[in-house]
Amino acid sequence: MATQSVDRRRCLSCNRWGGERRPGAEPDTVDYDEDNDRGLCQDGPWHGSSRRGPRNACGQWIKWIALETPPPADQPPQP
Ligand code: SF4
């Protein structure tokens, strides 16, 4: 398993990327399998290409929504 920082703004951490990944243990990191690191660009400039990976990037990168910090849970109602 490998890890890449969101700061690199590669396809791997882009919301338009359809490959196998999961949020890393550290904030703003992505864990992925180096032997399975290619995925599909969806609705970006490389739309339809399934060969995008951790070394690819483009100017329309948007952060993977799964890496956004969730909003705080609602407070329970006061009695
Ligand atoms: S080519 Fe651009 S839009 Fe497509 S997955 Fe990569 S960074 Fe995202």
How many A from CA of 76 to the centre of ligand 1? 40
Share above pLDDT 90 across residues of the chain, in percent, rounded to a whole number: 85
Q: pLDDT digits over 39-59, tens only?
A: 999 999 999 999 999 999 999
Q: And the tokens for 39?
A: 């995925």
pLDDT at residue 75, as a whole number: 74
HSE-up (13 A, CA, CB side) for residue 22: 3
Ligand 1 pocket test: which of 60, 64, 65, 67 has the largest number of ligand atoms within 8 Å of its C-beta? Answer: 60
- Output the residue whose Cα is nearest ligand 1's atom 2: 58
What is the pTM (predicted TM-score) of this model?
A: 0.88
Q: And the tokens for 57?
A: 């990037």
Q: pLDDT digits over 5-37, tens only?
A: 999 999 999 999 999 999 999 999 999 999 999
pLDDT at residue 71, as a whole number: 67
